[in-house]
Amino acid sequence: MGRRKGEDTLAAKRRRMPYVAKLRREDPFKPDDAREVEAACRRVAAASEFMVLAGWREDSGYRVYHFTTWAKARAMQHWLDRSGIAHRPMPKLGLTAEEVAERKRQALAWGLRTGAARPIVDAYWQARHAGDAELTAFNAACEAAKAMGRPTEELQTTVRTLLEWARAKPPSSPAPDP
């Protein structure tokens, strides 16, 4: 697929904006930090344009900010250095280990308190013994948990936790005859 003659390519933009400011950072920004950098770029560029690219080759590991004049690139570099934005923490991605452990604890407590643990685990094993695949059996257990009133967003965590608990729990032995 060819390019149209009037199309503004990255190479054309780089030729138009040869002056750069670099920020050494590969991690994503928090939304507030990203907005702050964007506002600084708009403020420095004023009425002209700017462009932000991930560095590659010799600029690998940098975010490269392109500007039309040397003074604007220098002002942005000064702001980047002074603000300390490169050393701000990255956003929290996913749950912490403590939060995961707490969700599992709550799921197990719910299963044991309501008596739902056995029917959920049984639904899984019945599907497995009927020849269903792992995912199909897991879905059957999720349906059992949903039918017992577990909220949709907690189904998978609950079923996984109850299945882990059932696998780790030693089987009940019959009471000895006196």
Tens-place pLDDT, residues 6-44: 778 888 888 889 999 999 988 888 889 999 999 999 999
Q: How far apart are CA 108 and CA 135, in angstroms?
A: 21
Q: In what order do the strands lie in the sheet with 50-54?
A: 19-24, 62-67, 50-54
Q: How far apart are CA 50 and CA 37, in angstroms?
A: 12
Tens-place pLDDT, residues 71-128: 999 999 999 999 999 888 888 888 888 999 999 999 999 999 999 999 999 999 999 9
The partner residues of 22 in beta bridges, in order of sequence, read 64
Q: What are phi and psi of 171, to 5 degrees?
A: -65, 150
What is the CATH number that goes with domain 12-87? Answer: 3.30.70
- Ranges of each domain in the chain: 12-87, 97-168
Question: pTM for this one?
Answer: 0.54
Residue 3, pLDDT > 90, answer no
